[in-house]
Amino acid sequence: MAGASTTAVAQEFETVIGLECHVELSTTTKMFCGCRNEFGAPPNTNVCPVCLGHPGSLPVPNERAIEYIVRIGLALGCDIAPRSLFHRKNYFYPDMPKNFQISQYDLPVCVGGHLDVEVDEHVRRIGITRVHMEEDTGKTTHAGVTGRIGQAEYALVDYNRAGVPLVEVVSEPDIRSPEEARAYLTELRAILEALGVSDVRMEEGSLRCDANVSVRPAGSHELGVKVEIKNLNSIRSLERALSHERDRQVELLRAGGRPVQETRHFDEETGTTHPLRSKEEAFDYRYFPEPDLPPLELDPAWIEAIRATLPELPAARRDRLRREHGLRPEQASIVGSDARAAEYFERAVALGAPGPAVARWMTQDLAAYLNRTGEGWEELAKRFSPEALADLLRRSEEGELSSTGAKAAFELVVETGRPLGEVIEERGLRQVSDTSQLEAWVDEVIAENPRLVEQFRGGKEGVLNALVGQVMKRSAGSANPQAVSELLRSRLAEP
Amino acid sequence: MPVDIDIDHVARLARLELSDEERERLRAQLSLILEHAAKVSEVATADVPPTASAIPRPTVLRPDVPTPSMGPEEALANAPDREDDRFRVPRIVEVE
Ligand SMILES: [Zn+2]
């Protein structure tokens, strides 16, 4: 697939995207029963008559789950309904043992919010239609010769996940590009993480996303034919699938065709989407009020108490980092979007380290390390604590470490797990400003490089850097480059 | 007022295969039930708010505290088919 750029396509066509994101809440127990809500338990161990839908069992909502959905709704600027209702969504699919899923229909807990996303320093407000409470389904594994869903011969079901509290966040069709969709999902994930309501691990399925996408001629206000894409297991998959689907629909329209309304499955390997045909032909969920659950009435005082406990959200945090610590926008976005990164930053700064220097280290050397190892900030903090970073910056500030020395010290600390002070001592990383030692190295370098010396004396200023480099090499990075440069100049000025 | 009902659609949604005799009998019965339920709308007026629950009781929530689960042996005791500790079911979807 050629993959036309967003800008080129945008001139002729407009892409309209809406996202439905499912968030598994990190409660201790399930939504309507006391079974444990845990990822990775042996199959069918966390099940009981309620979540297996045995006759006569009755659901009772989990208070913590309700608190969490209220937190999410408040963070997204939604109105919290004083009275909402659970409905049964009826369907025949073995991932729910009772043939229905308890969800919400016309009276969800949260309605009408928004999420601001930033793409290329341009902020756009994406509407949130609703946020509703439901229960997750069991996990089906398609089995057969190839293990691919399309060729499965049978399926195996584990109901540990059936009944886990699930929140669905539905956006308005306000998203206009795959890049904006990525920004939306990234920001939503950061907010959920800051709220502490979910593990938000897409690879484990605790955050999942379906996308509705259509394409229409630029300037048109009529909505195009909507295609739903499923199986988006990472933010990268979402962006790739949307780019591919947009290009596919544009090509169809250009060829005089028209997309059909359907559900398509994203194939991670090929980066393409394929129609997903379900044996469930008649999509009629026959929603009706769940007779076993009375309407959910929330005390306004409780809602206000929850509002009072909302943490600082990523957007506010990024703003504050820019304002109070002078971070550049791209630094604030790396440091401020991740709760653990922000905590790392704040701890280092609280120890007296200057904000811009901490941000520079975090977005360069530390970020490179995280990319290389796949670790998170929390793990890094154990290997190289904010205290260590503050110490490292202080030593650099005081001239004890050169910038090369500081980098080497950091690498050694994360590699060996030894304290910073010891590493500096042992590896002789302390920057040498001691003149007699520097003089000895400088004289050796001058003696060994008569041609460079000649060129410098002949007026080629730039050669000095080469000589400084030689001295630095000789000192194994421990010499203070500024002192070396001054010393070289004065020595070379001598006849 | 008799209520017309698409019995084939209802049967399909419920995954039921009906004989002609059953279809006619159930159509008549369901129609009567719907007719009975339709009486409710005759008494529903603008000043009566819609209700979803007949029991006027406050919202009951449960603290987020675990209770014992039954475990795989009991859970799978009545399963028509199993593979290890999971339920085994027929294939579900097809991708073209
Ligand atoms: Zn249970």
A82 — contact with chain B (CB < 8 Å)? no
Q: What's the gap in Å between A50 CA and the centre of ligand 1?
A: 5
- Most confidently modeled of A69-83, A386-400, B81-95? A69-83
Q: Do B64 and A63 touch (CB under 8 A)?
A: yes
Distance, in Å, from the CA atom of A59 to the CA atom of A492, rounded to the nearest integer, reads: 87
Same domain? A289 vs A326: no
Q: Report which residue type is found at A51.
A: C
pLDDT score for A293:
93
A139 — contact with chain B (CB < 8 Å)? no
pLDDT score for B37:
84
Please list the residues that pair with A143 across neighbouring strands.
Answer: A154
pLDDT score for A3:
47
Q: Do B66 and A34 touch (CB under 8 A)?
A: yes
pLDDT > 70: percent of chain B: 90
Distance, in Å, from the CA atom of B70 to the CA atom of A360, rounded to the nearest integer, reads: 53
Tell me the residues of chain B between 54 and 83 that have a Cβ less than 8 Å away from chain A. Answer: 55, 57-72, 75-76, 83
Q: A152-201, pLDDT tens digit by residue?
A: 688 999 999 999 999 999 999 999 999 999 999 999 999 999 999 999 99
Quote the domain boundaries for residue A394. Answer: 315-426
Q: Pairing relation of β-strands A288-289 and A296-297? A: unpaired
Contacting residues of A for B71, CB less than 8 Å apart? 44-45, 47
Per the domain annotation, does A4 fall within a domain?
no
Per the domain annotation, does B56 fall within a domain?
no
pLDDT score for A9:
63
- The pLDDT-based confidence of A387 (bands split at 50, 70, 90) is very high
Q: Pairing relation of β-strands A165-171 and A13-24? A: antiparallel
Q: A440-479, pLDDT tens digit by residue?
A: 899 999 999 999 999 998 888 889 999 999 998 888 777 8
CA distance A362 to chain B (A): 38
A276 to chain B: closest CA residue: B95
Question: Does the pLDDT of residue A125 top 90, yes or no?
Answer: yes
pLDDT score for B45:
74
Per the domain annotation, does A3 fall within a domain?
no
Quote the domain boundaries for residue B21. Answer: 7-42
Which whole number is the average pLDDT over A200-212? 92
Q: Do B71 and A149 touch (CB under 8 A)?
A: no
Question: Does the pLDDT of residue A253 top 80, yes or no?
Answer: yes
Contacting residues of B for A281, CB less than 8 Å apart? 12
pLDDT > 90: percent of chain A: 65
Same domain? A217 vs A141: yes
Q: Do A279 and B92 touch (CB under 8 A)?
A: yes
Q: Interface pTM (ipTM) of the complex? A: 0.84
pLDDT score for A462:
87
Same domain? A166 vs A278: yes
**C-alpha distances in Å from residue A403, one per residue of A122, A397, A411, B35:** 35, 10, 13, 85
Q: Which of A349, A356, A321, A73 is nearest to A188 (CA)?
A: A73
Per the domain annotation, does B51 fall within a domain?
no
Same domain? A325 vs A392: yes
Same domain? A197 vs A334: no
pLDDT score for A50:
97
Q: Which of A401, A19, A67 is nearest to A213 (CA)?
A: A19
Same domain? A259 vs A391: no
Q: A107-119, pLDDT tens digit by residue?
A: 999 999 999 998 8
Distance, in Å, from the CA atom of A446 to the CA atom of A442, rounded to the nearest integer, reads: 6
Global pTM reads 0.81
Per the domain annotation, does A49 fall within a domain?
yes
The domain boundary residue, chosen from A278, A305, A332: A305
B70 to chain A: closest CA residue: A48
User: For A233-311, where are the E strands, in sequence order?
Assistant: 262-267, 272-278, 288-289, 296-297
- The pLDDT-based confidence of A316 (bands split at 50, 70, 90) is very high
The CATH number of the domain holding residue A455 is 1.10.10.410
- The pLDDT-based confidence of A437 (bands split at 50, 70, 90) is confident
- Contact indicator for A131, A65 with CB cutoff of 8 Å: no
- The pLDDT-based confidence of B96 (bands split at 50, 70, 90) is very low
Q: A329-378, pLDDT tens digit by residue?
A: 889 988 988 888 999 999 999 999 999 999 999 999 999 999 999 888 99
pLDDT score for A2:
43
Which whole number is the average pLDDT over A100-104? 96
Tokens of A381: 């903090």
Q: B74-95, pLDDT tens digit by residue?
A: 999 989 999 999 999 987 665 4
pLDDT score for A128:
98
Per the domain annotation, does B93 fall within a domain?
no
Q: Do A47 and B70 touch (CB under 8 A)?
A: yes
Contacting residues of B for A155, CB less than 8 Å apart? 88-92
Per the domain annotation, does B29 fall within a domain?
yes
Spatial strand order of the sheet with A288-289 comes to A100-103, A87-90, A288-289
Per the domain annotation, does A446 fall within a domain?
yes
B48 — contact with chain A (CB < 8 Å)? no
Write down the mean pLDDT value for chain A: 90
**Burial environment of residue A4 by CB neighbours within 10 A (0 to 12, 13 to 18, 19 or more):** middle
Same domain? A230 vs A326: no
Same domain? A227 vs A321: no
- The pLDDT-based confidence of B1 (bands split at 50, 70, 90) is low
Contacting residues of A for B91, CB less than 8 Å apart? 142, 144, 152-155
Per the domain annotation, does A6 fall within a domain?
no
The CATH number of the domain holding residue B30 is 1.10.20
Q: By three-state DSSP, how is residue B24 classified?
A: helix
Per the domain annotation, does B30 fall within a domain?
yes
B24 — contact with chain A (CB < 8 Å)? no
User: Distance from CA of residue A364 to its chain's centroid?
Assistant: 18
Per the domain annotation, does A310 fall within a domain?
no
Say which residue the tokens 């079911």 belong to: B89
Q: Which of A168, A166, A169 is nearest to A126 (CA)?
A: A169
Q: Which of B12, B53, B91 sits opposite A294 (nearest CB)?
A: B53
The domain boundary residue, chosen from A305, A338, A364: A305
Which whole number is the average pLDDT over A120-126? 89
pLDDT score for A186:
93
Same domain? A358 vs A379: yes
Out of A46-60, A273-287, B36-50, pick the least confident.
Answer: A273-287
Q: Which of B55, B59, B63 sits opposite A296 (nearest CB)?
A: B59
Per the domain annotation, does B23 fall within a domain?
yes
Please list the residues that pair with A412 across neighbouring strands.
Answer: none
Same domain? A171 vs A150: yes
Domain count, chain A: 3
Contacting residues of A for B58, CB less than 8 Å apart? 294, 297
What is the helix (H) or strand (E) element at residue B45, kind and residue range?
Answer: none
pLDDT score for B43:
77
Per the domain annotation, does B25 fall within a domain?
yes
Choose between A32 and A150: higher pLDDT: A32
Which whole number is the average pLDDT over A480-492? 87
- Contact indicator for A119, A179 with CB cutoff of 8 Å: yes
B88 — contact with chain A (CB < 8 Å)? yes
Contacting residues of A for B13, CB less than 8 Å apart? 90, 282, 284, 286
Question: Does the pLDDT of residue A86 top 50, yes or no?
Answer: yes
Same domain? A374 vs A395: yes
A106 — contact with chain B (CB < 8 Å)? no
A43 — contact with chain B (CB < 8 Å)? yes
Which whole number is the average pLDDT over A290-305? 94
What is the helix (H) or strand (E) element at residue A457, kind and residue range?
Answer: helix A450-457
Same domain? A475 vs A381: no
Domain count, chain B: 1
- How many distinct helices (H) and strands (E) make up chain B? 3, 3
The domain boundary residue, chosen from A270, A286, A305: A305
